[in-house]
């Protein structure tokens, strides 16, 4: 039986907080993609990164368990590059 992990993901483009309950074996990149979709953000997921406790989480196949995400942990999805204000 796979343990599930409740997590919160905030997408900074929309300031939406999305709640997930995912198996600990879920890849971080899949959570990011799902969060961007639920927040209705358009664009390639590669243009965003995921942070946990202020540090970027590697997305190259890293699972929630490998990343050390704790129950009710808060992830942040933000753009890799800042956009200029016009």
pLDDT digits (tens, 9 = 90+) for 1-58: 468 999 999 998 888 899 999 999 999 999 999 999 999 998 888 899 999 999 999 9
Contact (Cβ atoms closer than 8 angstroms) between residue 47 and residue 23: no
Judge contact between 77 and 9, C-beta under 8 A: yes
pLDDT of residue 3: 83
pTM of the predicted model as reported, rounded to 2 decimal places? 0.85
6 three-class SS: strand
Beta carbons within 8 Å of 46's beta carbon, 6+ residues apart: 80
Residue 9's pLDDT is 96
The per-residue pLDDT for 83 is 65
- Say what the pLDDT of residue 61 is: 87
pLDDT range class, residue 84, cuts 50, 70, 90: low
Q: For 63-76, how does the pLDDT look when each residue is reduced to its tens digit (9 = 90+)?
A: 999 999 999 999 99
Give the chain's domains with CATH numbers.
4-79 (3.10.20.90)
Compute φ and ψ for 80, nearest 5 degrees: -65, -35
């Amino acid at each position: 039986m796979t343990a599930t992990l409740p997590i919160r993901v905030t997408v900074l483009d929309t300031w939406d907080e999305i709640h997930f309950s995912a198996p600990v074996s879920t890849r971080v990149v899949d959570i990011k993609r799902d969060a961007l979709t639920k927040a209705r953000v358009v664009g390639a997921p590669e243009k965003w990164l995921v942070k946990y406790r202020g540090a970027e989480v590697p997305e190259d196949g890293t699972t929630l368990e490998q990343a050390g995400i704790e129950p009710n942990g808060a992830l942040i999805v933000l753009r890799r590059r800042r956009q200029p204000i016009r």
